[in-house]
Amino acid sequence: MTSIPAWHLYGENTPFPDVMHLERIVDRAAGLDWHIGPHRHAHLAQVFLLERGVTRVEIEGGTNRPEPPCILYIPPGTVHGFTFDAGTEGWVLTLPIDAHPELFADNGELASFVGRHFNATAPAGLSSLFPTLFEEWHGRKLLRHLRLRAVVAQIFCTIFEPLAQAQQQMGLGRRDPRLASFLDLVARHHVSHWTIQRYSSELGVSVRNLARICRETTGLRCPPKSGH
């Protein structure tokens, strides 16, 4: 069995030196022939903003090619790897979770979201936050760590707000875990106008059963043909 390496960042053997790390994809991937093999980070979470180019993502044994502009969130311990087309543009934000308890606390507002990986179309306004964060990170203004945490928190709010809105509108659905999975799919793919048939297929249930799950748990009906 092939052993999956656990890296501090991308193969370094030194402890994480700051409250975060931010770099452009080209800065790391170009020197590795645009390929980063499967690995995991035990205590780090990452956000990838893929702006342009084709990316093949290997994650937890599966593969996909997310369409840019998109985001990819990877929680600690998740096995992942990448093959980028030469010239792929985007950003990689890496966070030591212990340095950001407001984001990763077990009882925090994001607790139901930050424990599992997902990808989605990049929300409006997200791309402008990464250069802002990069400037703050390389700056030496007073209250630097507080400034960095503030921009990182804004990035996370922008990313996870669609999930929180879907959760609020539909009800948490704790009585049936399939509803939580349905909400995740809606948040990730609503901009692609998936049909209800495709959602039900992904969940492994019939359209009729999915409608019943929604109705019994939330009192709402799933639209018969809409992907929203």
Beta bridge partners of 95: 45
Over 34-46, what HEC string results?
CEEEEEECCCEEE
What Å distances lie between residue 87 and 31, 46, 84, 116, CA to CA?
Answer: 12, 21, 8, 29
Give yes or no for residue 61 having a pLDDT over 50: yes
Confidence of residue 221 (pLDDT cuts 50, 70, 90): low
- Domain 1-170: CATH architecture, name and number where available: Sandwich (2.60)
> What are the sequence ranges of the domains in the chain?
1-170, 172-228
Quote the pLDDT of residue 227. 43
The confidence score (pLDDT) of residue 46 equals 97
Does residue 125 contact residue 158 with C-beta atoms inside 8 Å?
Answer: yes
Interval 63-80 mean pLDDT: 94
More confident residue, 200 or 137: 137
What is the pLDDT, as a whole number, of residue 17? 82
pTM here is 0.74
Cα separation, 189 vs 201, whole angstroms: 14
Average pLDDT across the chain, whole number:
85
Strands 89-96 and 35-39: unpaired
Strands (E) in the chain, as ranges, are 21-24, 35-39, 44-52, 55-59, 62-64, 70-74, 80-84, 89-96, 118-121
pLDDT score at 11: 53
Q: How confident is the model at residue 88 (pLDDT cuts 50, 70, 90)?
A: very high
Give residue 10's pLDDT.
54
pLDDT in tens, 129-186: 999 999 999 998 999 999 999 999 999 999 999 888 877 766 554 556 777 788 778 7
**1 CB-near residues (< 8 Å, 6+ apart):** none
Give how far Cα 79 sits from Cα of 4, 17, 135, Å: 8, 23, 30
Is pLDDT at 217 greater than 70 in this prediction? Answer: no
Q: Is the pLDDT of residue 226 over 50?
A: no
Q: How confident is the model at residue 97 (pLDDT cuts 50, 70, 90)?
A: very high
| pLDDT recorded at residue 219 | 55
End-to-end distance of the chain based on CA atoms, in angstroms? 42
As a whole number, mean pLDDT of residues 83-107 equals: 95
Cα–Cα distance for residue pair 108/160, rounded to 1 Å? 13
| pLDDT above 50 (res 228) | no
> What average pLDDT score do residues 69-97 get?
96
Helix H, strand E, coil C: the string for 112-141 is: CCCCCCEEEECCCCHHHHHHHHHHHHHCCC
What CA–CA distance (Å, rounded) separates 119 from 162?
A: 12
Helix (H) or strand (E) holding 18: none
What per-residue confidence (pLDDT) applies to 222? 58
Give the H or E element holding residue 71: strand 70-74
- Note whether 148 and 129 are within 8 A (CB): no
Give tens-digit pLDDT for 15-31: 678 999 999 999 999 99
Which residue bears the tokens 């936050």?
Answer: 129
